[in-house]
Amino acid sequence: MSEKLLEVKDLKVYFEMKKGLASSLFGKPEILKAVDGVSFTIDKGEILSLVGESGSGKTTTGKAILQLIPEARGSVLFEGEELIGKKDLTEFRKKAQMIYQDPYQALNPRQFISDIVGEPLEVNGMDLSIDERNDMVREALESASLTPADEYWFRRPFELSGGQRQRAAIAGSLILKPELVVADEPVSMLDASIRTGIIDMMLKERDKKGVAYLFITHDLSLAWLISDKIAIMYLGKIMEIGTANEIVHHAAHPYSKALLNIMPIPGKILTGKRQILEGETPNASEDIKGCKFCGRCPLAEERCFKEAPEYTEVSPGHLVYCHKVKEGKTVE
């Protein structure tokens, strides 16, 4: 039986936009809704992928869950304990880590790799002897396939390849043996030949140690391959969420279908012209009264522009944010 690790309820992150002096004094503040009412759960050892275009709020969601954004509102329960508003996050920091997108900026160029990987032990006040610390650093490096570990001990980031740098960054994130890792586009800056090794390493950590991942990506095909569940995000809102196979084979939301239409599927030959969404993603500060996707949706009706839809459960755990699904109509 699965055990719930993380429960996110109605998570919102709103930022007040800075404007000119006259607008600040006499105008109404402009609010950017980066994350606008996001809800989902992650079980222990589960992988949930957040998929969407740039600017959809994926990274902000991940940072808000880790309490790296003070503006976050709503509820984030980790092992049943509320995080939002909690003053002492010391124990949570040991159990939840983040892998950043850019391995070039995530590592201090002046430090040795052994110091970078071991830094979380010092930051979190782990009471360890030098030998215990070194053993943990060595284990983390070898788990990240940087072997033999002693060969990388006194290297600096600029002496490593892009893939090795990302492995070092992941080793630093996993050294505390966290229960939850927010992986923000961890392979998007790497060559295709290197991505497989990085993903395989992360999956082995899940299988061996039960690490759960919130995997943030724009690549739906990658999400399908590695995820237990997929959430399709657009303009700060989850449009559809369900198991990976449900989303890929039985998607119901027009936005999900648009992403699937451009996703390469092994063994499937494209016979017709790809359907490309028209228009651009609106500014997150725009006041959209209806569905956030209505301006680009080919099926939008008058109601879609005036009234926000509710989530409809089309199958167990498969939720869709669309009026047509709510009305019992098939979204083609």
Whether 94 is covered by a domain: the verdict is yes
Whether 124 is covered by a domain: the verdict is yes
Sole residue written with tokens 């926000």: 308
Distance CA 72, CA 75 (A): 9
Average pLDDT of the residues in 172-197: 87
- pLDDT score for 25: 59
Whether 44 is covered by a domain: the verdict is yes
Q: Is the predicted pLDDT of residue 33 greater than 60, yes or no?
A: yes
Whether 332 is covered by a domain: the verdict is no
- pLDDT score for 275: 62
108 Ramachandran zone, left/alpha/beta (phi>0; psi -120 to 50):
beta
Q: Is the predicted pLDDT of residue 285 greater than 60, yes or no?
A: yes
- pLDDT score for 325: 82
User: In the structure, what pLDDT confidence band is assigned to residue 276 with cuts at 50, 70 and 90?
Assistant: low
Q: Is the predicted pLDDT of residue 21 greater than 70, yes or no?
A: no
Q: What percent of the chain lies above the pLDDT cut of 90?
A: 59
The tokens describing 246, both together, are 């449900």
Q: Is the predicted pLDDT of residue 253 greater than 90, yes or no?
A: yes
145: CATH: 3.40.50.300
Whether 163 is covered by a domain: the verdict is yes
Distance CA 273, CA 11 (A): 38
Whether 70 is covered by a domain: the verdict is yes
Residue with more model confidence, 26 or 225 = 225
Q: Is the predicted pLDDT of residue 265 greater than 70, yes or no?
A: no
User: In the structure, what pLDDT confidence band is assigned to residue 278 with cuts at 50, 70 and 90?
Assistant: confident
Whether 331 is covered by a domain: the verdict is no
- Number of domains observed in the structure of the chain: 1
- pLDDT score for 27: 62
Residue with more model confidence, 44 or 189 = 44
Phi/psi at 246 (5° precision)? -65, -45
Q: Are 78 and 3 a contacting pair, CB within 8 Å?
A: no
Q: Is the predicted pLDDT of residue 28 greater than 80, yes or no?
A: no
Average pLDDT over all residues of the chain: 88
Average pLDDT of the residues in 150-157: 94
- pLDDT score for 20: 59
Q: What percent of the chain lies above the pLDDT cut of 70?
A: 90
Distance CA 172, CA 71 (A): 27
Whether 198 is covered by a domain: the verdict is yes
Q: Is the predicted pLDDT of residue 59 greater than 80, yes or no?
A: yes
Q: Are 107 and 169 a contacting pair, CB within 8 Å?
A: yes
- pLDDT score for 75: 96
Q: Is the predicted pLDDT of residue 123 greater than 80, yes or no?
A: yes
Average pLDDT of the residues in 178-188: 91
Q: Which of 119-133, 173-187, 197-211, 282-296 has the lowest mean pLDDT?
A: 282-296
The tokens describing 46, both together, are 């589960």
Average pLDDT of the residues in 323-327: 78
- pLDDT score for 250: 92
Residue with more model confidence, 330 or 263 = 263
Q: Which of 73-82, 272-281, 322-331 has the lowest mean pLDDT?
A: 272-281
- b/e per residue, 246-280, with b = 16+ CB within 10 A? bbbeebbbbbbbbbbeeeeeeeeeeeeeeeebeee
- pLDDT score for 281: 76
The tokens describing 89, both together, are 């996050």
Structural domain of residue 192, as residue ranges?
A: 4-266+274-326
Average pLDDT of the residues in 65-85: 94
Average pLDDT of the residues in 92-99: 93
